[in-house]
Amino acid sequence: MADTNKQFADSAVQTLQRARYLHTTAALRDLKTLSEKIGRGTDVESERAAAWLAVSVLYHTLLETPDGPEVEARWQRAIDQMRAWRSTFK
Protein backbone atom coordinates (compact mmCIF):
# COMPACT_ATOMS: atom_id res chain seq x y z
CA MET A 1 0.00 0.00 0.00
CA ALA A 2 2.82 2.42 0.84
CA ASP A 3 4.41 1.79 -2.57
CA THR A 4 1.12 2.56 -4.31
CA ASN A 5 0.71 5.78 -2.33
CA LYS A 6 4.31 6.81 -3.04
CA GLN A 7 3.81 6.22 -6.77
CA PHE A 8 0.60 8.23 -6.63
CA ALA A 9 2.31 11.06 -4.72
CA ASP A 10 5.17 11.09 -7.25
CA SER A 11 2.68 11.27 -10.10
CA ALA A 12 0.71 14.00 -8.34
CA VAL A 13 3.80 16.20 -7.94
CA GLN A 14 4.58 15.74 -11.64
CA THR A 15 0.99 16.58 -12.57
CA LEU A 16 1.11 19.81 -10.56
CA GLN A 17 4.46 20.84 -11.98
CA ARG A 18 3.22 20.24 -15.54
CA ALA A 19 -0.23 21.78 -15.03
CA ARG A 20 1.31 24.97 -13.69
CA TYR A 21 2.33 25.89 -17.24
CA LEU A 22 -0.87 24.86 -19.02
CA HIS A 23 -3.67 27.12 -20.16
CA THR A 24 -6.06 27.77 -17.26
CA THR A 25 -8.80 25.53 -18.70
CA ALA A 26 -6.45 22.56 -19.04
CA ALA A 27 -4.91 23.21 -15.63
CA LEU A 28 -8.37 23.28 -14.03
CA ARG A 29 -9.22 19.94 -15.61
CA ASP A 30 -6.02 18.35 -14.28
CA LEU A 31 -6.44 19.91 -10.84
CA LYS A 32 -10.03 18.72 -10.52
CA THR A 33 -9.03 15.17 -11.41
CA LEU A 34 -6.08 15.31 -9.02
CA SER A 35 -8.22 16.70 -6.20
CA GLU A 36 -10.80 13.95 -6.64
CA LYS A 37 -8.11 11.25 -6.56
CA ILE A 38 -6.36 12.67 -3.50
CA GLY A 39 -9.64 13.05 -1.61
CA ARG A 40 -10.55 9.39 -2.00
CA GLY A 41 -9.41 6.61 0.24
CA THR A 42 -9.73 5.30 3.72
CA ASP A 43 -6.15 6.07 4.79
CA VAL A 44 -6.11 9.83 4.38
CA GLU A 45 -3.37 10.99 6.73
CA SER A 46 -2.77 14.63 7.65
CA GLU A 47 -0.12 15.25 4.97
CA ARG A 48 -2.42 13.88 2.27
CA ALA A 49 -5.29 15.99 3.60
CA ALA A 50 -3.07 19.09 3.52
CA ALA A 51 -2.09 18.33 -0.08
CA TRP A 52 -5.74 17.86 -1.02
CA LEU A 53 -6.67 21.16 0.61
CA ALA A 54 -3.87 23.04 -1.16
CA VAL A 55 -4.91 21.62 -4.54
CA SER A 56 -8.55 22.45 -3.85
CA VAL A 57 -7.72 26.03 -2.89
CA LEU A 58 -5.60 26.39 -6.02
CA TYR A 59 -8.42 25.00 -8.17
CA HIS A 60 -10.95 27.46 -6.78
CA THR A 61 -8.51 30.37 -7.07
CA LEU A 62 -7.89 29.58 -10.75
CA LEU A 63 -11.59 29.17 -11.34
CA GLU A 64 -12.54 32.48 -9.73
CA THR A 65 -9.51 34.73 -10.35
CA PRO A 66 -7.11 33.07 -12.82
CA ASP A 67 -5.00 36.21 -13.11
CA GLY A 68 -5.12 37.11 -9.43
CA PRO A 69 -2.00 38.06 -7.50
CA GLU A 70 -2.22 34.99 -5.25
CA VAL A 71 -2.15 32.40 -8.05
CA GLU A 72 1.64 31.87 -8.07
CA ALA A 73 1.77 31.45 -4.30
CA ARG A 74 -1.10 28.95 -4.43
CA TRP A 75 0.67 26.92 -7.13
CA GLN A 76 3.81 26.80 -5.01
CA ARG A 77 1.84 25.89 -1.87
CA ALA A 78 0.12 23.00 -3.68
CA ILE A 79 3.45 21.68 -5.00
CA ASP A 80 5.10 22.05 -1.58
CA GLN A 81 2.24 20.26 0.20
CA MET A 82 2.29 17.46 -2.37
CA ARG A 83 6.05 17.09 -1.89
CA ALA A 84 5.54 17.01 1.88
CA TRP A 85 3.04 14.18 1.46
CA ARG A 86 5.40 12.36 -0.91
CA SER A 87 8.23 12.67 1.61
CA THR A 88 6.26 10.61 4.14
CA PHE A 89 7.00 7.52 2.03
CA LYS A 90 10.48 6.12 2.41
When pLDDT is cut at 50, 70 and 90, the band that residue 40 belongs to is confident
Write down the pLDDT at residue 3: 81
The half-sphere exposure of 66 on its side-chain side, counting CA atoms within 13 A, is 10
* Burial profile 80-89: b = 16 or more Cβ within 10 angstroms, e = fewer: ebbbbbbeee
Q: What is the pTM (predicted TM-score) of this model?
A: 0.90
CA dist., res. 47 & res. 66, Å (int): 26
6-29 residue pLDDT tens: 899 999 999 999 999 999 999 999
If one counts every other C-beta atom within 10 angstroms of the C-beta of residue 70, the result is 12
